[in-house]
Structure 1
């Protein structure tokens, strides 16, 4: 019978996630991870595998809380257009509140260009966000609350780009008016044409 692990796995993963988020992947050593998680190198490898495997688990943990939960909440409680607006508004507020940035965006900038495996993970996770926007846009286009003049795929990719841009821009210029103005302009692409009033 396997012996139970003598450490709190959830707390250890939170500690590792915070370390990666605050210092980046390259600047975080296995020793750093062991110190913050309260584990020796052998225990860390036995429990989580190598550094990349641990990082991937931390990234998924981050996204469960900071992307997937938000997507599910906004889709369940809002009509399609309002779900997009609420997600973007929340992205602005989170960008302004936490100068560490988004762990997914940080990873896309720091690691993905140089590590094919991590790059594939990042691409898949970004695909989840794009799919959320596309689902909302398609539903809105069917109901008439979102314009049909642009393909849903193109709009979804635009809003994915908007989220990524917001998170990066907020690191250098955390200005509410700047970020909210960018969102406001992007959202105009969803507006159906105004109905002409007969003279």
Structure 2
């Protein structure tokens, strides 16, 4: 019973602790407020980013989002452990000689996965749309100039830019190692993008 209460508390808005969390904050991707409280704050309570948009999710997606949150929490923890190991903001993995090659590549991909996880969180049911019923997984046709498509493109651009910066930041001196990370990352980036095959130009 105690675990159930914790699970219920986890699903409640972190400001009012009354309504269920049902919005994603953009651009940071944090998922922690109900739509009413989100309208009353201008900065994200976690990272202090200025909120430029609030993206509504449907209650049917809560279970899926819980899974994403657990994965992201694990990846963030790994990222923090890596920073503690390196003792530097730059996280220069090439100087951490105690880590095997495969671990270095895996940690780089964990960072990338965190970014992509945020993108997927933000793309889940981007807004209340009359053409999509709650829980309906059928694809819909989107206009190329619609806010949903523009947001998706902005998020994808952010992920690509962040990945390029990550490769530079990690200081991979070995071209083979850098190529391996780039190759694996491109597999992530080539994954089908939500709604991409249903955009009307």
Higher percent of residues as strand:
2
TM over 0.5: no
Structure of larger gyration radius: 1
User: TM-score w.r.t. structure 1 length?
Assistant: 0.34
